[in-house]
Amino acid sequence: MDWTALWLSLRLAAWTVAILLPVSILMGRYLAYRQFRGKGLVEALVMLPLVLPPTVFGFYLLVAFGRASPLGEFWQEMFGTQLVFSFEGLVVASVIFNLPFAIQPAQRGFEAIPVEVREAASCCGMSPLASLWRIELPLAWPGVMTAMVLTFAHTLGEFGIVLMVGGSIPGETQTIAIAIYDRVQAFDDRSAAIMSAVLVGISLFTIAITFWLSARVGRRLS
């Protein structure tokens, strides 16, 4: 059992969720309420990581993060490290490829709030921020919660993009999914089996938590 890889995966997933939570709420809310030209294009762009082969997406990220790219250059100057083959690079990649999982369910959650309820909040004297906190978030919470759980679970399981952008450096970029692959390559079926089982356990646990939470919220609302 490779605890280092598991710990790295959990850290990566936690960072991704932490960064995507505000993005999920703000973008989901914006896309749910606003009608604007090119909205379809923005929604398509958000969904793109879902349909692109991970290797293709990973390849573009690799190029974008490289020292020759403006982003890679900026990162190098700011932090003195390179973005590719580093944990930070992995977090950035993870945030990008999780966008569809983080935004879509939240958007659906906000879309389900009747527009008069939002208007009523504002007529009750609530500023947009107060309305978000007291009315919209509690009502859209099942959607936001689903988004975060999907993001967490998907980060644990992502393989292709992580391998392309991070390689497989133990303690830096070797996630549990990649560690399992490495174990299988080394004919260490026993370790691969244990780690796979642990991953199944964690995934089941997170999904169960989501169902339990959304059922609870559902009861609270109805």
Q: Does 218 bind other proteins (CB under 8 A)?
A: no
Question: Closest separation between CB of residue 108 and other proteins, Å?
Answer: 17
35 binds other proteins (CB under 8 A): no
Separation of CA 107 from chain center: 14
Residue 171 three-state SS = coil
Q: Which stretch binds other proteins (CB under 8 A): 27-35, 82-90, 128-136, 157-165?
A: 128-136
Task: By CB under 8 A, name the one of 55, 76, 81, 127 that touches other proteins.
Answer: 127
The angle subtended at Cα 45 by Cα 43 and Cα 48, nearest 5°, is: 110
Regarding 116 and contact with other proteins (CB under 8 A), the answer is: yes
Taking a C-beta distance cutoff of 8 angstroms, is the pair 91, 12 a contact?
yes
Integer-rounded Cα radius of gyration of the chain: 20
Number of residues that bind other proteins (CB under 8 A): 22
Q: What is the 3-state secondary structure (H, E, C) of 126-143?
A: CCHHHHHHHHHHHHHHHH
Asked if 34 touches other proteins (CB under 8 A), the answer is no
Q: Which is nearer to other proteins, 184 or 217 (CB)?
A: 217
Q: Report the C-alpha gap between 169 and 68 in whole angstroms.
A: 22
Neighbour count for residue 68 (Cβ, 10 Å):
9
Q: Does 117 bind other proteins (CB under 8 A)?
A: yes
If one asks whether residue 139 binds other proteins (CB under 8 A), the answer comes out as yes
Q: How far is the CB of 25 from other proteins (least distance, A)?
A: 17
Residue ranges that bind other proteins, judged by CB under 8 A: 114, 116-117, 119-128, 130-131, 134-135, 138-139, 220-222
